[in-house]
Amino acid sequence: MTLVARARLVIVTVALLSMVAAVSARAETFGPDGAPNPTASVVDQGTLLKQVPRIEGRIDIPDTKASVLVQPAGRTWDYFHEVLLHWGGAIVILGTIALLGLAYIIMGRIRIAEGRSGRKILRFKAFERFSHWLTAVSFVILGLTGLNITFGKIVLLPLIGPEAFSDVSQAAKYVHNFISFAFVAGLVLIVVIFFRDNLLEKVDIDWLKQGGGFIKSRHAPAGRFNFGEKLVYWLSLAAGLAVSVSGFLLLFPFFGTDIAEMQLAQVVHAVVAVLFVALILGHIYIGTLGIEGAFEAMGTGEVDLNWAKEHHDLWLAQQLANQDRQRQPSATPAE
């Protein structure tokens, strides 16, 4: 083959390949029905969003966040709020209720082993009980109104209809916002009143080694609060602080926060709140159905002597010793 023939072959081959490429490119501009495809040359949305963290314009007003048109992280937040939180929250809360029900079926109510003595001893003063119930009642209200935000569209909306659900949700939102101040006040009181009694001591390690008395089938020694109660106390303070800080960031939006930080605050608030509800469900169970005589401590403030001896023997011994010292006559000689 001569040089000229080879050159012609190369030119023809290149021309054919160019024609094939042109036909393929032109075919991509038409849809399956042969009609022109106006979006054929448009950059894929996913590719565009990956190139920049967000799409924003330019504005002259002081509110700079108003310039953000598209925030890809918002899709992640929306998936968390509408999918993960629903499933995760339902599993945690319903799972906790199921475990508590199973515990009641297996163990029943833990009775006072020696029965009631008929003698009472003061466990909590009036102001201590007030602080507890202020926190407890406000927490229950916050929990119910908060669960409506998460599960209301799934559970309540189909039952009462959109108009009633809108009214209920709007009222619940205002109740949730304003009751939060009562909860924070109660939390502060609990910190001040019960802080010293909830510091860890050596007896708490012994209580933990005995599994709270379940390992040796007898009650472990404990002071005013046992290790389990102290654990609930510290976890409640940590969770209460987390939901309070994140809640006030949501209550006063964009006060020193941007869009991403607001989303983070909502995620923290929701996750901690769900775990907090599960923790308090266990606390409520133990204080009502779980242990005989426990509710009286925060109900009337007084507990049966045998209950105190079984659950808080070291504290009882200290209280009885204090009563004996108060009853003893003065040691100063008469003049």
Determine the average pLDDT of the residues in 95-99.
97
Domain 201-324 sits in CATH at 1.20.950.20
Q: Identify whether the C-beta of residue 262 lies closer than 8 Å to the C-beta of residue 253.
A: yes
Rounded Cα–Cα distance for residues 262 and 268 (Å): 10
- pLDDT tens-digit series, residues 277-309: 999 999 999 999 999 999 999 999 999 999 999
What's the pLDDT score for residue 146?
95
Asked if pLDDT for residue 217 goes beyond 90, the answer is: no
Q: Could you tell me the two tokens for 53? A: 């963290």
Alpha helices in the chain (DSSP H): 3-28, 45-51, 73-79, 85-107, 126-155, 157-160, 162-194, 202-209, 227-251, 259-285, 295-299, 305-311, 313-327
Higher pLDDT, 49 or 222: 222
Give the number of C-alpha atoms closer than 13 A to the C-alpha of residue 21, restricted to the C-beta side: 6
Other Cβ atoms less than 10 A from the Cβ of 316: the count is: 22
**Taking the model in full, what pTM does it have?**
0.79
Instruction: Name 42's Cβ contacts closer than 8 Å, sequence gap at least 6.
Output: none
Cα 147–Cα 236–Cα 260 angle in degrees, nearest 5: 60
**Per-residue pLDDT tens over the stretch 66-75:** 667 777 788 8
Other Cβ atoms less than 10 A from the Cβ of 69: the count is 9
Q: Is 90 exceeded by the pLDDT of residue 44?
A: no
pLDDT above 60 (res 334): no
Query: What is the predicted pLDDT for the residue at 335?
Result: 46
Q: In this model, does residue 33 exceed pLDDT 90?
A: no
Mean pLDDT of all residues belonging to the chain: 85
pLDDT (mean) for 226-239:
96
47: pLDDT strictly greater than 60: yes
Among the listed ranges 36-45, 118-127, 165-174, which one has the minimum average pLDDT value? 36-45
Average pLDDT over residues 6-32: 58
Residues 121-132, mean pLDDT to the nearest whole number: 96
Return the higher-pLDDT residue of 326 and 168: 168
Q: Which two tokens stand for residue 294?
A: 């426990």
b/e sequence 214-252, b meaning 16+ C-beta within 10 Å: eeeeebbbbbbbbbbbbbbbeebbebbebbbebbbbeee
